[in-house]
Structure 1
Amino acid sequence: MGWRRGVAVLALGLAVTGCSGDPGEGAVRESAPPVIVPGGPGEPARTLSGAPSSGVRPSAAPSEADRAYVQMMIAHHQQAVEMTALAPERAADAQVRGLAARIGAAQGPEITAMRGWLERNGLGSGSGGHDHAAMPGMATPEQMAALRAATGGEFDRQFLRLMIAHHEGAVSMATDLLTKGVDVFAQEMAQDVIATQTAEIKRMRAMLGG
């Protein structure tokens, strides 16, 4: 299962636009390389492109909705990565360990990509001052403590339930962004979150037995 050890290829020349008088700022840089995220067993790698899809116009300067989404999703992803890091030593089910490895391998590089986007747009590099506990799907400190204390089958069940809720929260946030955001990268990230995490929710529900 070499995919579990796959390291995402990071290149953060992401598409950005500006609001000054430089006539070249409104165009996407042709040299912007993609962020490649490894897929699961039998699945192709996913690419977060630094340029918009064919036929899509470059976005205007990022909106407040774009900024807030990316900042909040950094914190959201960080908790998911923290949860997945517990699985190798605590999970009993190989499928749970494999799923956790895949999620961690994907979301770590995405955090780096989102931080790069914030920096390139002059918006800092962190998750901002948002109330992270109020974000959809975030596990509470008590739930995280219980997960750290669990082992074997009990860990597997807690992990799957918490990650399903976590993914559902991310999908909700991404769906909301698609109606409010304007930035190409943020839109592509949101679309990828919806597609990938919806599929993973279905897998995790099946692993829980429905």
Structure 2
Amino acid sequence: MDMAKDLRGRKAFTVRPLRFAAAMATAGLLLTLTACQDDGADRADDGRAPIVAPGRPGEKSRTLTPEQAAKAKPDDSPNAADHSYVQRMIEHHRQALTMSALAPERAASDPVKRLAERITAAQKPEIGAMQKWLSRHPAPAAGTGGPSAGHDHGHAPDHGSMPGMATEQQLGELSDARGADFDRLFLKLMTAHHEGAVTMAGEALAGGNNVAVEEMANEVVATQSAEIHRMRAMG
């Protein structure tokens, strides 16, 4: 069973069990007593609505202050794996956009053209989302002792270190190809490209800590696994 099929089949369960349980507990902590807000009877002394933390089976619920609830939230601080994945995947997606931009003028098959359009429509917004994530979570400089220390985030990721990336020679051949030759090469290169993205997403899901990155990685696994199977059928 290939990596893409395996990860796609388990995408709904990629969040590790302990973290999933913590997330569910957090959702419980954020449940407010909205039904009691109108008369103010159950408000805290400072006028703020209380937050209820459901107890375990057989135990009573607890009423928490917002500060106590915030401390009870699980820590999903980004780690080195999260930062590495987002930075590398931005470059990975950019190459997919470059390849897809060649299709309208070079592809012979309408399905290949439509595939390129879908890839562009999906991955361009994903790049924007990942860039926004990086702006909110800048990686610590190497040597500062932060969670990403030891990784140089001041430079673009090395293309050769990312699975599935086409070489400059392959990109040149794709640019020179026309018609059916373009279609065959595009499907070959893009299938490998997607397989590499799924591999990278799997690494992020295994080693990352941030919930937002997990969600982005799960989306990559779902969409690109489906496209891998579609491209194999087209080829």
The alignment's TM-score, normalised by the length of structure 1, stands at 0.69
Percent sequence identity is 55
Q: CA deviation at 1:133?
A: 1.9
**SS where residue 60 of structure 1 aligns?**
coil
Q: Is the 8 A contact 1:80 1:163 kept in 2?
A: yes
- Whether contact under 8 Å (2:91, 2:157) holds in the other structure is no
The match for 2:231 is 204
Choose which of 174, 185, 198 in structure 1 pairs with 2:201.
174
Match of 1:14 in 2: none
Partner residue in 2 for 1:99:
115
Note the 1:148-159 alignment, pairs <5 A.
148-159=175-186
1:59–1:146 CA distance, 2 compared to 1 (3 A): farther
Give me the whole-angstrom Cα distance separating, in 2, the residues matched to 1:207 and 1:129.
Answer: 33
What CA deviation, in whole Å up to 9, does each residue of 1:68-111 have, x standing for no partner? 00000000000000000000000000000000000011100100
Larger Rg: 2
* Deviation, structure 1 residue 122: 2.3
Residue of structure 2 in register with 1:13 after alignment: none
CA contact (8 A) 1:72 1:128 kept: no
C-alpha displacement at 1:131, in angstroms?
1.4
Higher helix proportion, which one? 2
Relative to 1, partners in 2 of residues 1:59 and 1:168: Cα closer, same or farther, differing over 3 Å? Answer: farther
Within 5 Å, which residues of 2 pair with 1:99-138? 99-123=115-139, 128-138=155-165
Q: Which residue of 1 aligns with 2:216?
A: 189
Q: Which runs of 5+ in 1 are unaligned?
A: 1-25, 31-56
Alpha-carbon offset, residue 193 of structure 1? 0.7
- Counterpart of 1:79, as a letter, is Q
Write out per-residue CA displacement over residues 144-192 of structure 1, whole angstroms, 9 at most, x where no aligned residue: 0000000100000000000000000000000111110011111001111
Partner of 2:103: 87
Aligned residue type for 1:165: A
**Which residues of structure 2 form unaligned runs of 5+?**
1-25, 31-72, 141-152
Measure the CA separation in 2 of the matches of 1:131 and 1:85.
Answer: 22
1:62 pairs with one of 73, 78, 90: 78
Q: Is the 8 A contact 2:107 2:113 kept in 1?
A: yes
RMSD: 2.2
Distance 2:154 2:224 in 1: 21
Tell me, what secondary structure is at the counterpart of 2:128? helix
3-state SS of the aligned residue for 1:104?
A: helix
Shift of 1:58: 5.6
Cα gap change, 1:158/1:58 in structure 2, threshold over 3 Å: closer, same or farther?
farther
Report the Cα distance in structure 2 between the residues aligned to 1:177 and 1:142, rounded to whole angstroms: 29
Equivalent of 1:145, from 166, 172, 178? 172
Alpha-carbon separation, structure 2, partners of 1:98 and 1:157: 15
After TM superposition, where is structure 1 displaced by more than 3 Å over at least 4 residues in a row?
126-129
- Equivalent pairs counted in the alignment come to 154
**Residue of structure 2 in register with 1:77 after alignment:** 93
1:128 and 1:184, CA in 2 relative to 1: closer, same or farther beyond 3 A? Answer: farther
